[in-house]
């Protein structure tokens, strides 16, 4: 009797354990499955296909992707064996070209949609299993179009140029690549028939690369079209080059002031830390704060050079630094602005009306106390080496408002204003905007005509986009 009871109890426990274990196995089977997510908006284009695969606590051993019709998988475009079993997430990138059999098949049959098949073999705690699924995708091999390209086809060395063009409604993003590391984005007006674009651009302090600019338009599927436009650079000026013998005492004091340290003599490393590494870091911060076309309601207006000021250093001057008793020059820099001298502690007025978009009262490294003003349309002005700043970020200022006083904060030799103008992050020669006749002709009138001509037909939509190409 006692024996039977014990046996019964044992069987019951075993049964419960088996059921629990079985339920757990079923849970694992159904709850933990690899997933496949198409990142290309369920569209296939020449930029190929991109998908994200997640293992969800399983071990994936095999992935294959193919294309075909609703009933048949026809062309394998991706396979991978021997995956690292510890992989939790993987993005697969499958490029396509006109030479691919699948692309030829699509074109030959003029297909508008297609099926993507995928197989994932995996293993969880209990089973080996696989997933076989298909996704309906649409086909887009058509890049956006670019037409009605208008420009006066020239730019002054260090100056600003413009180009106007229309892109088709499927355009997601367009920009001008002038051969710099930074792209220039348009001011856009969206219409039913397409998008009107105006881009102000710069080629830096050199002639436009290969005498041309590229207009690039991209759609959401990743198709892109490049339109090449010839762009002549008029070399109406020559950048000055000068040798600067480093004054070690001056550098020592500035080094200690800027880095809040207490060195007694300046080594080559100290000098490079200040004039090379910190300069680079400061220029990146300026780039970050001048690269966007913001939606500030400021209208671009006339620019003035600081009242009663004398120019003593111009844009793009090349400076060769000579360090005492070593092989020279140690390094060279370009001067991304104008140095303007006036009386000591002179009042500073904005060069043009705008919105104060950056204030650094502690000091921006070699630039010292600095203000940046956003003038709209991607144009900015910068004021450095100040002794005092009397505005805050967000203030709307006109050219009759005092924003600060000149000084010698940062790496400045004597009281002066370092003034710079920037277009979408790229410094350009301020003489272009100080020359009112030229400014009106090349920038303001172009913009006003563009708005007038297009806004009657559509809705103005100023575009903000990242223009970093790192």
Based on CB atoms, which residue is closest to Zn ion, 339 or 429? 339
Question: 59-68 and 154-156 as β-strands: parallel, antiparallel, unpaired?
Answer: unpaired
Least distance from Zn ion to the Cβ atom of residue 316, Å: 11
429 contacts Zn ion (rule: CB under 5 A) = no
Least distance from Zn ion to the Cβ atom of residue 183, Å: 27
Question: 404-406 and 379-389 as β-strands: parallel, antiparallel, unpaired?
Answer: antiparallel
Size (the chain), residues? 470
Based on CB atoms, which residue is closest to Zn ion, 375 or 418? 418
Token pair for 156: 């002054």
User: Of all residues in this chain, which one has the CB nearest to Zn ion in the complex?
Assistant: 418
Least distance from Zn ion to the Cβ atom of residue 334, Å: 11
Binding range to Zn ion, per CB under 5 A, among 48-56, 95-103, 282-290, 411-419: 411-419
Based on CB atoms, which residue is closest to Zn ion, 294 or 408? 408
Beta bridge partners of 221: none
Least distance from Zn ion to the Cβ atom of residue 251, Å: 16
Beta bridge partners of 173: 218
**Pattern 364-403, Zn ion, x by CB under 5 A:** ----------------------------------------
Based on CB atoms, which residue is closest to Zn ion, 355 or 418? 418
**Does an H or E element contain 248, and which?**
helix 248-259
Binding range to Zn ion, per CB under 5 A, among 70-78, 229-237, 332-340, 446-454: 332-340
Based on CB atoms, which residue is closest to Zn ion, 225 or 366? 366
Cα torsion for 152, 158, 160, 166, to the nearest 10°? 70
Please return the burial class of 23, using the count of CB atoms within 10 Å of its CB with bins 0-12, 13-18 and 19+: exposed
Q: Which residue has the tokens 């000091």?
A: 363
**Does an H or E element contain 268, and which?**
helix 268-272
Token pair for 190: 């969206």
Token pair for 383: 């004021």
Least distance from Zn ion to the Cβ atom of residue 411, Å: 9
Between residue 201 and residue 260, which ones bind Zn ion under the rule CB under 5 A?
none
**Pattern 337-356, Zn ion, x by CB under 5 A:** --x-----------------
Which residues have CB under 8 Å from 118's CB, separation 6+?
36, 51, 63, 64, 65, 66, 131, 132, 133, 134, 135
Q: How many angstroms separate the first and last alpha carbons of the chain? A: 82
From CA 65, how far away is CA 115, in angstroms rounded? 10
From CA 49, how far away is CA 111, in angstroms rounded? 17
Based on CB atoms, which residue is closest to Zn ion, 126 or 312? 312
Least distance from Zn ion to the Cβ atom of residue 430, Å: 12
Binding range to Zn ion, per CB under 5 A, among 144-152, 219-227, 250-258, 410-418: 410-418
Between residue 88 and residue 107, which ones bind Zn ion under the rule CB under 5 A?
none
Judge whether 433 and 422 are in contact, CB under 8 Å.
no
Based on CB atoms, which residue is closest to Zn ion, 196 or 406? 406
418 contacts Zn ion (rule: CB under 5 A) = yes
Number of residues binding to Zn ion, judged by CB under 5 A: 2
Which residues have CB under 8 Å from 237's CB, separation 6+?
156, 157, 158
Least distance from Zn ion to the Cβ atom of residue 417, Å: 8
Least distance from Zn ion to the Cβ atom of residue 373, Å: 17
Residues that bind Zn ion (CB under 5 A): 339, 418
């Amino acid at each position: 009797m006692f024996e039977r009871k014990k046996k019964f109890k044992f069987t019951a426990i075993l049964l419960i354990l088996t059921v629990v274990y079985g339920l757990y196995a079923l849970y694992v089977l159904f709850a933990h499955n690899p997933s496949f997510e198409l990142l290309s908006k369920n569209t296939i284009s020449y930029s190929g296909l991109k998908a994200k695969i997640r293992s969800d606590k399983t071990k994936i051993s095999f992935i294959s992707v193919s294309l075909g019709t609703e009933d048949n998988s026809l062309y394998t475009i991706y396979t991978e064996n021997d995956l690292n079993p510890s992989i939790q997430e993987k993005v697969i990138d499958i490029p396509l070209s006109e030479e691919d059999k699948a692309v030829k098949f699509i074109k030959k049959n003029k297909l508008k949609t297609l099926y993507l098949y995928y197989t994932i073999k995996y293993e969880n705690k209990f089973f080996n299993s696989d997933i076989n699924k298909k996704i309906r995708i649409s086909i887009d091999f058509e890049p956006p179009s670019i037409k009605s390209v208008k420009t006066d086809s020239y730019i002054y060395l260090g100056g600003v140029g413009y180009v106007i063009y229309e892109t088709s409604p499927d355009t997601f993003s367009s920009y001008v690549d002038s051969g710099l590391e930074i792209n220039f984005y348009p001011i856009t007006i969206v219409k039913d028939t397409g998008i009107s674009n105006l881009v102000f651009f710069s080629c830096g302090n050199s002639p436009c690369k290969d005498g041309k600019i590229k207009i690039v338009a991209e759609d959401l599927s990743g198709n892109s079209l490049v339109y090449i436009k010839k762009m002549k650079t008029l070399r109406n000026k020559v950048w000055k080059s000068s040798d600067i013998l480093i004054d070690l005492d001056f550098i020592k004091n500035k080094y200690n002031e800027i880095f809040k340290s207490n060195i007694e003599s300046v080594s080559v490393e100290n000098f490079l830390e200040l004039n090379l590494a910190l300069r680079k870091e400061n220029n990146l911060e300026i780039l970050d704060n001048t690269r966007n076309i913001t939606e500030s309601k400021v209208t671009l207006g006339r620019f003035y050079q600081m009242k009663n000021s004398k120019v003593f250093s111009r844009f793009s001057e090349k400076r060769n630094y000579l360090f005492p008793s070593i092989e020279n020059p140690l390094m060279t820099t370009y001067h991304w602005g104008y140095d303007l001298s006036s009386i000591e502690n002179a009042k500073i007025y904005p060069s043009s009306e705008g919105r104060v978009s950056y204030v650094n009262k502690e000091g921006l490294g070699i630039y010292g106390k600095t203000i940046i003003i956003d003038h709209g349309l991607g144009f900015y002005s910068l004021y450095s080496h100040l002794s005092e700043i009397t505005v805050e970020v967000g203030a709307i200022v006109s050219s009759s408002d005092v924003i600060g006083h000149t000084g010698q904060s940062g790496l400045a030799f004597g009281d002066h204003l370092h003034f710079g103008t920037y277009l979408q992050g790229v410094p350009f020669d301020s003489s272009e905007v100080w020359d009112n006749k030229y400014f009106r002709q090349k920038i303001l009138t172009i913009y006003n005509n563009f708005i007038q001509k297009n806004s009657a037909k559509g809705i103005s939509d100023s575009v903000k986009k990242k223009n970093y190409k790192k």
